[in-house]
Structure 1
Amino acid sequence: MSESIVDNTPLFELDAGIDVDATPEQVYAVVSDLPRSAEWSPECLGGEWITGEPATVGAVFRGENLRSESVVAWAPLIRGTWFTEARVVAAEPGATFRWMMLSHAQEDQESVWGFDVAATESGSRLIHHFRMGKATAGIRKIVADLDEAERVKFINEWTAKLESDLDVTLKRIKDVIEKH
């Protein structure tokens, strides 16, 4: 079996940043409140903490998500509403908040989303990042019946979608925080 683009490690490693007129503690209080993510996420409609103390390491969040038909429209993606579960892997108030996506069998996946925040002269710098080391079972299922050229096209288009999602998320978070 020849190597495929989906065998690259990391498969995705992206980040984006924005300046926010608020303290790192104020920014952290918002971004670590995952049930509020519908206010800023292009896909997550919010959700609920299902185990553990909310927003602490080890807590598990069940998110409700919605993907439109237009997102990488040609690819065999989940459309409409679906649910995910993620476990908090870093929670340092005023500094870092990260969560790892879990498989349907509740196993860790190398798919980690997060925020880092640091003080600046005028407020905070918020960095939103995503890293997928090895391709998840979901990515492998999406590309299973694609030839290598289609796999490359999918990874390139998905990378562009993720980059856009990071930017949109940051702009919306900035709006949420600065309007309060």
Structure 2
Amino acid sequence: MEEQTATPPPSVPTSGEAQSPAAGHEVEPLLEDSIEIMAPVEKVWSLVSDLPRMAEWSPQVVRTFLRGGRPVRLGSAMVNLNRRGLLLWPTSTKVVRFEPAVEVAFKVRENNTVWSFTLEPMAGGTRLVQRREAPHGTSRISHVLVDRVLGGQRIFQQELREGMSQTLGRIKAEAEA
């Protein structure tokens, strides 16, 4: 049985580099989705912890370059090439949380967000949770670019939610194959 949930985040704080958002321009502090996968935690971990494979699952990631080679570990640095339509842009990331078979998280330097996968054992498999954390909003440049180039925060965040759902679904298909 597959379960996907989206947790509606609270309103964004106005500290740090967070913007003073106008209506419809808020950066949500947490985007989250989850899925139940009928595969053991170890199998799911082998997929999500191999971050250079993100392009296989995420509709936004074109390629991930891991600096320093595999395996991914705490402190690993990556450059991601992202796409939305004809737009391509690079981001630099660093693994900031890494607990084998439990969680891997990386921070995006350009926008100050943290993306993570958390694995929770369950009967017959694994609950996989993907999150995008932005507790203090995003960087000024990211906020401006999303508003002016990517259609605004609300539209872009909805695309991120849809992308998270696709990513989780593709990981599930790979893990259960």
Structure 1, gaps ≥5 residues long: 70-78, 104-108
Distance 1:167 1:145 in 2: 25
SS in 2 for 1:110: coil
Distance 1:170 1:118 in 2: 14
The aligned counterpart of 2:80 is: 63
Q: TM-score, normalised by structure 2?
A: 0.77
Distance 2:148 2:155 in 1: 17
The aligned counterpart of 1:139 is: 142
What is the CA distance between 1:43 and its match in structure 2?
1.0
Q: Is the 8 A contact 2:25 2:152 kept in 1?
A: no
1:26-65 matched pairs, under 5 angstroms: 26-51=43-68, 54-65=71-82
SS in 1 for 2:152: helix
1:157 pairs, out of 144, 155, 158, with 155
The aligned counterpart of 2:21 is: 4
What is the CA distance between 1:47 and its match in structure 2?
1.9
Moved >6 Å (runs of 4+): none
Q: Cα–Cα, structure 1 residues 60 and 163, in superposed 2: closer, same or farther, change >3 Å? A: same
Larger radius of gyration: 1
Distance 2:144 2:107 in 1: 19
Q: Is the 8 A contact 1:52 1:60 kept in 2?
A: no
Task: Indicate whether 1:176 and 2:170 are aligned.
Answer: no
Q: Cα–Cα, structure 1 residues 140 and 155, in superposed 2: closer, same or farther, change >3 Å? A: closer
The aligned counterpart of 1:123 is: 125
Aligned residues: 157
SS in 2 for 1:156: helix
What amino acid is aligned across from residue 100 of structure 1 in structure 2? K
Q: Cα–Cα, structure 1 residues 25 and 142, in superposed 2: closer, same or farther, change >3 Å? A: same
The aligned counterpart of 1:95 is: 102
Q: Cα–Cα, structure 1 residues 139 and 177, in superposed 2: closer, same or farther, change >3 Å? A: same
The aligned counterpart of 2:7 is: none
Distance 1:17 1:67 in 2: 23
Q: Structure 1 vs Structure 2: percent identity of aligned residues?
A: 26
Q: Cα–Cα, structure 1 residues 7 and 164, in superposed 2: closer, same or farther, change >3 Å? A: closer
Alpha-carbon RMSD across the aligned residues, in angstroms, is 2.6
Q: TM-score, normalised by structure 1?
A: 0.76
